Amino acid sequence: MLNEKRLVELFIQLVETDSVSGHEGKIRDLLKGHFALRGLEVEEDKAGEILGGQSGNLLVRVADSVEGPPLLFAAHMDTVKPGEGIKAVIGDDRIIRSQGDTILGSDDKSAIAALLEAYDIILEQDLPHPPMEFLFTVQEEQGLKGSKLFDFSRLQARIAYVLDDNNDPGTIVIKSPCQNEIEYVVHGRAAHAGMNPEDGINAIQLAAMALAQMPCGRIDEDTTCNFGVIKGGLARNIVAPECRVRGEARSSKREKLDSLTASLKATFINTVEDLGGKAEVNIEFLYPEIALAPDEEVVQRAARAARKLGLEPRLAATGGGSDASIINGQGIACVNLGVGMKNVHTTDEYVEIDHLVQDVQLILKIIEG
């Protein structure tokens, strides 16, 4: 039987343990100690060293008690800022919030708490289960950095569940976009803005003129792009010799992403160079798309679990990436499950206790099959 008091206390312990991206050392130690008490080894990789952080990704292997396909469950350990000194408050409405000056950290510690409670129930009730792997990643909030460095050849599972969607339990995300990060650079020529501006080439102006020729926002039902940061110039009285613009492009279809990115690059370079400047465009592919069919076993297993709990499964699409994007890109069928966290990345973040309970129940039903 699920121990709600233990679940809530564990969740509060987790969120009150600081783990802002790159500083996951305390939560790593907590998890290692938790699993050691249950006789499980926690394997830590070198992602922390590579990224300059306190912790690597953690992998826990659970031997099977019955035959069945190995299952992977994944959540991330890090949080965004302001995420230090969190104090959780339980309201009379059975909702857990922070005191209001920090985030709560239910993204993604609601998932971690649910996984730990589910495993304790399996131990206490000697529930049958196939081989399981728990993956806890670092620096997910900084661009899925931890999962990108994880060696997925270490895993047995070909079916995986990330618990990191802010919709209610019963939501199964089967579609999400691929994304490119794009940096646009203009090299102009400095000159004094009052004495001899005609000798200069204003990189900011050229960037603006190029951007004016380029699409921004919603391109079609599958595709978006954006320009988010612009930096340039040295002083108000100097013709700006350089300007950099950071943007992105996303699409649920790889061919559309590639086509849009190529068009953005060509338009930018051609416009800038036609105006006498020099341009470069730097492109980084951040993560692949997810496009799972509703009848795939990873989806059906989650849908069956939801129905057993009286929840109507809802197949969903999202406009963002998650560790599920990276896992799918490694050839492991993976959905992202709704865990009920709300207003994430804000000081108004909260989670309902009833949703935490449902998260645990859903994990157990997925394991049951």
Q: What is the set of active-site residues?
A: 78, 140
Max distance between CA atoms of the chain, in angstroms, equals 83
Contact 351, 167 (CB under 8 A): no
Cα separation of 158 and 173, whole Å? Answer: 17
3-state secondary structure 312-340: CCEEEECCCCCHHHHHHHCCCEEEEEECC
Question: What three-state secondary structure class fits 76?
Answer: strand
Cα separation of 82 and 198, whole Å? Answer: 47
Give Cα separations from 235 to 52, 161, 189, 238, 342 (angstroms). 34, 51, 13, 5, 43
Residue holding tokens 């690059």? 265
Give Cα separations from 63 to 39, 246, 345 (angstroms). 11, 46, 36
Name 287's bridge partners.
179
